[in-house]
Amino acid sequence: MTRSRPRSPSDAMSSVSGASDSSIPVWRASTNAHARGGPGFFPPELVVQIKALACELPATLGLPLSRLSTADIVRAAQQGGIVATISDKTVWRWLHEDAIRPWQHRTWIFPRDPEFAAKAGRILDLYARQYEGGLLTSDDFVISADEKTSIQARVRCHPSTPPRPRQSLRVEHEYERGGAWAYLAALDVHRAKLFGRCERTTGIEPFQRLVSQVMTQSPYREARRVFWIVDNGSSHRGAACIQRLQAAFPTIVPVHGPIHASWLNQVEIYFSILQRKALTPNDFRSLADVEERLLGFQRYYESLATPFEWRFTKDDLAALMRKLDSGTAPLAAVA
């Protein structure tokens, strides 16, 4: 921890109450419940205690709060007898030194798949053009596929107005619901080639139609192997999915990711771009307008895109798993 700046000899000879008391160390004098936190001096031990307090969950402290603010920390420190008086600004400055921000939060999820490392490693190998210890050949292809559900047509009650000087794009707050699409997409990760379709719902049959859309086109039709990276959604889950896909197209090699690891599926990156660039704000005249936008953006993106520079390797995965085993780094849920 960062220690307080060195004090002058005269400072060290002064007690917390201001009187001269050379026979008692200042840090020990500060432990008196009535004198702790006196003006002008806070010993390093107190700083550490405050930082430790800020790293506790409110429930551990018996507080009916979801997060701690600096004011909450000051109050808890005073009620717990750690310090008599201290300012919010001082506490904020100490926490800022170590980037401790208990008033912020992120959503995390710990992997519960016992084969998490093996399944994730298989996907990372495919991104690096490897599979089961060998290199992929020119007639091997890797497809990342998933569904983006419930894309609504929000028909605004008043037309949107374009940007003007000193005025941004304006979108009417109220809207009528015009229906929704499920958008199914497949991305060739090494060629930045996209395939997509709009369906009324997700399910086995809509997903099979996406697979057929890809596999009946060249070069996938003539390929030696086509690896399909999918999650564990109901449309393509488990051994039944593997049998179904390989019965229709024997060259398909289904590759299921670990449970709750959509961040490993590159098509999710495309979905996030699609959301930002084409679907926000949601302002459509009809459901047909949504389909036109989705497929139009798909063609537009494909004309500009290059393969994603995937930099998370198996070495990075191994380091992450070690942190997970130690309980210091939960896995971020991005989908």
pLDDT tens digits for the chain (335 residues)? 444 444 444 443 333 334 444 333 433 434 443 334 444 579 999 999 999 999 999 999 999 999 999 999 999 999 999 999 999 999 999 999 999 999 999 887 778 888 999 999 999 999 999 999 999 999 999 999 999 999 999 999 999 999 999 999 999 999 999 999 999 999 999 999 999 999 999 999 999 999 999 999 999 999 999 999 999 999 999 999 999 999 999 999 999 999 888 899 999 999 999 999 999 999 999 999 999 999 999 999 999 999 999 999 999 999 988 887 776 655 554 33
Contact 144, 254 (CB under 8 A): no
Q: Which residues of 20-53 are buried (b: 16+ CB within 10 A; e: fewer)?
A: eeeeeebeebbeeeeebbbeebbbeebbebbbeb
- 144 forms beta bridges with 187, 229
Other CB atoms within 10 Å distance of the CB of residue 138: 8
- Phi, psi at 30, each rounded to 5°: -70, -10
Q: Which of 258, 253, 261 is nearest to 126 (CA)?
A: 253
Other CB atoms within 10 Å distance of the CB of residue 182: 19
Model pLDDT, residue 8: 43
Residue with tokens 């050949």: 137
Q: Which of 132, 113, 110 is nearest to 257 (CA)?
A: 113
- Phi, psi at 230, each rounded to 5°: -135, 160
SS (H, E, C) 256-291: ECCCCCHHHCCHHHHHHHHHHHHHCCCCCCCHHHHH
The third-level CATH classification (topology) of the domain covering 116-326 is Nucleotidyltransferase; domain 5 (3.30.420)
CA 316 to chain centre: 17
Contact 295, 154 (CB under 8 A): no
Q: Residues for the chain: how many in total?
A: 335
Helix (H) or strand (E) holding 126: helix 116-127
Q: How many CA atoms lie within 13 A of 262 on its CB side?
A: 16
Model pLDDT, residue 260: 85
Residue 111 DSSP SS3: coil
Angle at 117 between CA 116 and CA 119, to 5 degrees: 65
Residue 193 DSSP SS3: strand
CA 253 to chain centre: 28
Q: Which of 294, 284, 331, 295 is nearest to 312 (CA)?
A: 331
Bridge pairing between strands 193-199 and 175-188: antiparallel
- Phi, psi at 193, each rounded to 5°: -95, 130
Q: What does pTM read for this prediction?
A: 0.76
CA 307 to chain centre: 21
- Phi, psi at 6, each rounded to 5°: -60, 140
Q: Which of 95, 124, 157, 176 is nearest to 321 (CA)?
A: 124
Ordered by start, the domain boundaries in the chain are 9-97, 116-326
Distance CA 292, CA 272 (A): 18
Distance CA 172, CA 56 (A): 43
